[in-house]
Amino acid sequence: MKQINTVNGTISPQQMGRTLMHEHFLFGFAGFQGDATLGGFKEEEYTRDCVQAVEDARAYGVSTIVDATTNECGRNARFLKKIADMTGMNIICSTGFYFQDESAFAYWNFRKGFADIQEEIFEMMYTELTKGIEGTDVKAGVIKLASSYNQITPMEEIFFKAAARAQKETGCVIITHTQLGTMGPEQAQLLISEGADPGKIAIGHMCGSTDIDYHERVLKQGVYINMDRFGLEGELFHTPTDEERMDVIKTLVDKGYGSQIMLGHDSVNVNLGRGLIMTPKMQELMKDANIRTIGKKVIPGLAKRGMTEDQIEALLTANPAAIFS
């Protein structure tokens, strides 16, 4: 039976239960480390906020959360294990890097003058998946990849190729970030052409597009899609509304793709560095940008559109179990 790496050891797919496929307990845009004097790590405050997020998710039956934070954006294996120890939540940690404009690729650009960085990136991913992260015995359970708006840059392509190799050698799941819902078909094609198993790939942030043809061009390659930005909507995020996203899900389910769709929020429970300045307008725009939204809005919204309990449950339980099986 396939075993899944969580921050507290392995579980089986049958133990996952309801699963959120793309969240962030901690997240900092690359460079936050340089603002540590005024934006240092507040252990007690962050612990309290993340425990509350777990309780909010558990209130509608969530048992497993995939933390999609990449290595350079504040991924903290020790902290995730602490939250899992305190709450009993299954937390799956990532290995990988963010898209180029918002990542920290200067390090890899420097190294490529001295080494084969595709080999080094593969070695990093493979080690974190099979041995542990940063000297701990916490192993990553997914690879997180990302591409830029309307392109996969040459540096991003190196990460995709290294990830495909790591996936072939470990059988792990790959999840992705598509910037504003672009490059989904190209991400899937690139990974599959490099030998990755399409049944282990979830193309992320597909709810950035309402174009059904775009979704089908991804789904017909045999991969999963993550509709995983619920609560992040409108002008601030340049995305469709949650109502439009639910319409897309209903259409895709009616077209026979219900076994290839999974859900999440892309919620950030803690923004690393200095706290965000929340004006009244920002508070209004961000009012649903939290881990409660699927339970509060999406499950009832899909039911109102005529989806059955089994169809809805597949998005949260059966499909995550299948991709990790």
Confidence (pLDDT) at 238:
87
Angstrom distance (rounded) from CA 301 to CA 248: 12
Confidence (pLDDT) at 235:
76
Angstrom distance (rounded) from CA 245 to CA 80: 30
CATH of the domain at 237: 3.20.20.140
In angstroms and rounded to an integer, the radius of gyration of the C-alpha atoms of the chain is 18
Angstrom distance (rounded) from CA 194 to CA 186: 12
Angstrom distance (rounded) from CA 16 to CA 90: 7
Q: How many structural domains comprise the chain?
A: 1
User: 3-state class of 89 per DSSP?
Assistant: coil
- H or E element: which one contains 37? none
Confidence (pLDDT) at 304:
98
Confidence (pLDDT) at 217:
98
Confidence (pLDDT) at 1:
53
Range of the domain at 84: 4-324
- Strands ordered across the beta sheet of 173-178: 94-96, 142-147, 173-178, 201-203, 224-227, 261-263
Q: Which token pair is 237?
A: 């995020």
DSSP H stretches of helix in 206-305: 212-219, 242-254, 280-285, 293, 299-304
Confidence (pLDDT) at 274:
95
Average pLDDT per 10 consecutive residues for the chain, totaling 325 residues: 91 98 98 96 98 98 98 98 98 98 95 97 98 97 98 98 98 97 97 98 98 98 98 87 98 98 98 94 92 98 98 98 97
